[in-house]
Structure 1
Amino acid sequence: MLSMVSAKIRIYEQFAELARVLGHAHRLELIEHVAQGERSVERLAQLTGLSFANASQHLQQLRRGGFVEARRDGKRVLYRLADGPILSLIAALRCYAERNRAEVGKIVEDYFDRLDQLEPVSREELVDRLQDGTAVVLDVRPEDEFALGHVPGALNIPLDELERRLTELPTDQEIVAYCRGAYCVLSFEAVAALRLKGFRVRRLEEGFPEWKAAGLLVEARG
């Protein structure tokens, strides 16, 4: 039978192993992409700029740590985010880093805050505004991510198509833009570009995965 001390150490060893699995920038980025919906290794490698072999190796590490799950679809292996408070764990890490790591705070200030200094729209506020029709929701992720799941009623205009599709956006309502998560540059750049064009626009706090994890309604294309 384990003693109280040895039981505690065994638990801490497991904590340390989970931290080790998360302790790689590519794995954190892969979690962000897998959180959008089920994706193939090929697509995840493309999105992250990794080789197929490298992406597969990182995903296997995440699977062994219980952060993602995999299934085979013919010759392809598809990955999805595992159950559990994974995004809450990442959010806690982000909040700690922004508060206690000077380099993180400087990057946020120099890049993200420069693009968008207005307070973002909270999930609760957006729910209310969707109900009373006082906001138009803009999803600036790629079309394949939008198809996997999106905020109900959202208009999908990927960032690289925004300039030529401005006429699809309303000029008499505030636009709420969102993308993959708190550090996804797509929504920051979309908001900055639209404000230069005279649109009233703010970002959604965090992104689609956090919206979904909060148990809010989601639409998907069949």
Structure 2
Amino acid sequence: MNAQALKNHLYGQVARIGAAVASPKRLELLELLAQGEKSVEALAREAAIDIRLASAHLRVLREACLVDVRREGKSRIYRLGGSDVSALWVALRSVAESRLAELQVAMNDLFTGAERLTLESSRSLLEKVRAGDAILIDVRPEPEFSTAHLPGARSVPLDELLGRIKDLPDDKEIIAYCRGPFCIMSDTAVALLTRHGLRARKIAEGVAEWQAAGLPLAVAKA
């Protein structure tokens, strides 16, 4: 193989990753899997596509070595190929947000500046939670919380929040987070908490963003 042919081969291998992620639904599947392993049925349901299409997208991601799969009875359980794949999703979204005006406008509609954390403000948030000055709630489904969550967070899945509002203190700020900047579960949670007279706000960052920033994560105790 001559030098140019070798270069073409090398660039071609990297392009396999680009081709695999060149789909909005495949990016959404990666974001979902950044929360923890899931069955193809769960992925299809959460991405609002049918199982056949979900399987086809997952096959492309698997061929690019971005996801792995295992069998559990009759179910196929998918997971990310590694933490670097989660970091790839965060990096792609960050570059898109910095370069694409349309995405910037959409993100500005979703978030105020205070909801987007810097490394410094993330550490400040941890200190507030550790000191008991704020309550951090994770409104994702409990299995995602068990896989990994922000330190000090409580698991209060969105579908349980209404029934558990009485368990939350009314004299402290409640801070909600979910799957990251594109997830709106935290918006719903904040609206519900505010209607019930609690001081609440959301943060944009989730587990994938926290990990990509080199910040510690926690797992639920067995």
Give the structure-2-normalised TM-score: 0.84
Cα deviation, residue 140, structure 1: 0.9
Is 2:179 aligned against 1:180? yes
For structure 2, the residue ranges without an aligned partner over 5 or more in a row are none
Q: How far apart, CA to CA, are the structure 1 residues paired with 2:215 and 2:61? A: 24
Per-residue CA shift, 1:149-188, capped at 9, x if unaligned?
4334432223244344322221222222111122111113
Counting only pairs closer than 5 Å after superposition, residues 153-192 of structure 1 correspond to structure 2 as: 153-192=152-191
Aligned-residue Cα RMSD (Å) equals: 2.4
SS in structure 1 opposite 2:137? strand
Alignment correspondent of 2:73 = 74
Is 2:76 aligned against 1:63? no
CA contact (8 A) 1:41 1:52 kept: yes
Q: How far apart, CA to CA, are the structure 2 residues paired with 1:194 and 1:89? A: 33
Cα deviation, residue 79, structure 1: 0.6
Against the structure 1 CA distance between its residues 180 and 172, is the aligned structure 2 distance closer, same or farther, given a 3 Å change threshold? Answer: same
SS in structure 2 opposite 1:77? strand
Counting only pairs closer than 5 Å after superposition, residues 115-134 of structure 1 correspond to structure 2 as: 116=112, 118-121=114-117, 122-134=121-133
Q: How far apart, CA to CA, are the structure 2 residues paired with 1:133 and 1:203? A: 17
Q: How far apart, CA to CA, are the structure 2 residues paired with 1:56 and 1:2? A: 38
Cα deviation, residue 44, structure 1: 1.2
Against the structure 1 CA distance between its residues 52 and 138, is the aligned structure 2 distance closer, same or farther, given a 3 Å change threshold? Answer: same
SS in structure 2 opposite 1:66? coil
Is 2:35 aligned against 1:39? no
Per-residue CA shift, 1:112-141, capped at 9, x if unaligned?
13xx55334544233333433322110111
Q: How far apart, CA to CA, are the structure 1 residues paired with 2:164 and 2:113? A: 25
Alignment correspondent of 1:218 = 218
Cα deviation, residue 60, structure 1: 1.2
For structure 1, the residue ranges without an aligned partner over 5 or more in a row are none
Per-residue CA shift, 1:7-47, capped at 9, x if unaligned?
33322222222111001111111111111111111111111
CA contact (8 A) 2:130 2:152 kept: no
Q: How far apart, CA to CA, are the structure 2 residues paired with 1:196 and 1:100? A: 37
CA contact (8 A) 2:80 2:86 kept: no
Alignment correspondent of 1:15 = 14
For residue 220 of structure 1, what is the amino acid of its counterpart? Answer: A
Against the structure 1 CA distance between its residues 47 and 181, is the aligned structure 2 distance closer, same or farther, given a 3 Å change threshold? Answer: same
Cα deviation, residue 50, structure 1: 1.4
CA contact (8 A) 1:123 1:204 kept: no
Per-residue CA shift, 1:185-209, capped at 9, x if unaligned?
1113323443454433333342123
Q: How far apart, CA to CA, are the structure 2 residues paired with 1:11 and 1:153? A: 44
Alignment correspondent of 1:28 = 27
SS in structure 1 opposite 2:115? coil
Cα deviation, residue 75, structure 1: 1.5
CA contact (8 A) 1:176 1:202 kept: yes
Alignment correspondent of 1:87 = 86
| Seq. identity, % | 41
Q: How far apart, CA to CA, are the structure 1 residues paired with 2:172 and 2:20? A: 44
Against the structure 1 CA distance between its residues 83 and 107, is the aligned structure 2 distance closer, same or farther, given a 3 Å change threshold? Answer: same
The total of aligned residue pairs comes to 218
SS in structure 1 opposite 2:187? helix
